[in-house]
């Protein structure tokens, strides 16, 4: 049996965070969670060698937003798969998003997140922005 893939999930809405965490774990992933950008950056710095992917909301309140979190993740690991989630920032993805990432517009079904991260982890190129 192989170890579960470890993902960082960044979301400031507790209900969405818990729902996604449960769905990802049911799909066989392990998750570390962060409710804010600064927390996410700390986790990235501490667990960069273990993390296989990042799933982040864009608007995270005070501090770094999801764009900044993703850019930091890519500085640490240029190939880490990144999924962005947003209710209102999707139009900014082509300019602010990192290459080879995916944007999911809220509302979305949790299964869309699982399919998106699985696709990136399996090396299938996301659609061009």
Read out DSSP for 33-74? EESSHHHHHHHHHHHTTTEEEEEEES--SSS--HHHHHHHHH
Q: What are the percentages of helix, strand and coil residues in the chain, rounded to 5? A: 40, 20, 35
Residue 105: which CATH number? Answer: 3.40.50.2300
Phi, psi of 31 (to 5 degrees): -130, 145
Residue 83 corresponds to which tokens in the numbers above? 């999924």
Cα–Cα distance measured from residue 18 to residue 87, given in angstroms and rounded to the nearest whole number: 18
Domain tally for the chain? 1
pTM for this model (two decimals): 0.92
Question: What is the pLDDT confidence band of residue 2, given thresholds at 50, 70 and 90?
Answer: low
Give the residue numbers spanning the domain of 78: 6-121
Interval 74-83 mean pLDDT: 95
| Residue 68 CB contacts under 8 Å (≥ 6 apart), including other chains | 37, 41
Of 44, 49, 53, 48, give the one whose Cα is nearest residue 20.
Answer: 53
Mean per-residue pLDDT, 73-96: 94
Q: What is the mean pLDDT of the segment spanning 69-91?
A: 94
What is the pLDDT at residue 129? 46
**Per the domain annotation, does 23 fall within a domain?**
yes
Give the C-alpha separation, 116 to 106, whole Å.
14
Q: Tokens for 1, please give them.
A: 């049996």
* Across 92-102, average pLDDT: 93
Residue 129 within any structural domain of the chain = no
Residue 56 is assigned to a structural domain of this protein: yes
Task: Please indicate, yes or no, if residue 60 is contained in any of the structural domains.
Answer: yes
Mean pLDDT of the chain: 91
45 is a domain residue? yes
What is the structure's pLDDT at 29? Answer: 97
Across the range 67-96, mean pLDDT stands at 94
What confidence tier does 125 reach under pLDDT thresholds 50, 70, 90?
Answer: low
């Amino acid at each position: 049996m192989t170890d579960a893939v470890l993902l960082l999930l960044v979301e400031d809405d507790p209900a969405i965070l818990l729902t996604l965490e449960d769905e990802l774990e049911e799909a066989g992933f392990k998750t570390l969670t962060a409710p804010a950008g600064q927390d996410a950056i700390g986790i990235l710095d501490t667990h960069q060698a273990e993390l296989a992917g990042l799933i982040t909301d864009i608007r995270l309140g005070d501090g770094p937003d999801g764009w900044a979190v993703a850019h930091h993740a890519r500085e640490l690991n240029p190939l880490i798969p990144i999924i962005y989630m947003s209710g209102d920032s999707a139009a900014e993805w082509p300019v602010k998003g990192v290459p080879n990432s995916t944007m999911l517009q809220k509302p979305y079904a949790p299964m869309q997140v699982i399919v998106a991260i699985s696709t990136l982890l399996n090396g299938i190129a996301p659609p061009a922005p």
